[in-house]
Amino acid sequence: MNTAPFEIIAGPIEAYIAPVGTAFPAIDAAPAGPWALIGATGSENYDEQGVKIAHSQDVKAFKSLGLTGAKKAFRENEGLTVGFTLFDLQLEQYSLALAGTTVATTAAGVGTAGSKALPFYRGHDVALHALLLRGAYSPYGDAMNLQYQMPVCYLNSSPEPVFKKGDPAGLAFEYMALVDPSAATAAARFGQLVIQHQAPLEE
């Protein structure tokens, strides 16, 4: 629920990942498989610093001899990054922080405890994912959603969980967008932000 003035938004959003090529859910539909929520209870497992979305760029200005100000600007690089810290050390979640290494499960036996193991080595190949950020807010009214849609991204973070008294051990996540070769338009190569602004029409 987002009370007026609707354009001022404060609150948590939740992150979901899926294989590249997975269709994004409709703006008024709950994400379903293969979309997987990051964190056993979603934003309840995220650091209070929140989920940060960074739109970065490097722009080079051209200055000529005869002018004191720049005459033209060229964009050399641009990027889209999503970052947050997860407080959930279940190995299924820890594996997401390592870009999806597989958890091996050993069932309990007579006189032996069951266990789960997560290998750390990731090798040369970098896993790619689709990323969805969903929030129950809209700058256009109550009871509507917004969602960031990143069709292709990779995990660029280097988790450093710290085990100490009084503070939970966290896993850093940083997803970086890659250009989507299947994007419908050039402007959608990093994905898009979709926000609901009207309720569905009744039949």
Name 35's Cβ contacts closer than 8 Å, sequence gap at least 6: 16, 17, 18, 22, 25, 132
Write down the pLDDT at residue 101: 83
Per the domain annotation, does 86 fall within a domain?
A: yes
Range(s) of the domain holding residue 46: 14-22+33-59+74-195
Say which residues have a Cβ less than 8 Å from residue 34's Cβ, sequence separation at least 6: 18, 19, 22
Average pLDDT, 10 consecutive residues per value, the chain (203 residues): 88 97 97 96 97 97 96 97 98 92 94 96 93 97 96 96 96 97 95 96 87
- The pLDDT, as a whole number, for residue 174 is 97
What's the confidence (pLDDT) of residue 20? 97
Report yes or no on 188 lying in a domain.
yes
pLDDT given at position 17: 97
**Inside any domain, residue 6:** no
Using DSSP's 3-state secondary structure scheme, residue 72 falls into strand
pTM for this predicted structure: 0.93
Residue 66, in any domain of the structure: no
Structure tokens given for 184: 């419908």
In a domain, 200, yes or no: no
Asked, for residue 84, whether it belongs to a domain, the answer is yes
The structure tokens listed for 174 are 């940083």
* Residue 12 neighbours by CB distance under 10 Å: 15
Domain count, the chain: 1
Is 162 within a domain? yes
Assess if residue 3 is contained within a domain.
no
3-state secondary structure 86-121: ECCCCHHHHHHHCCCCCCEEECCECCECCEEECCCC
* pLDDT of amino acid 99: 85
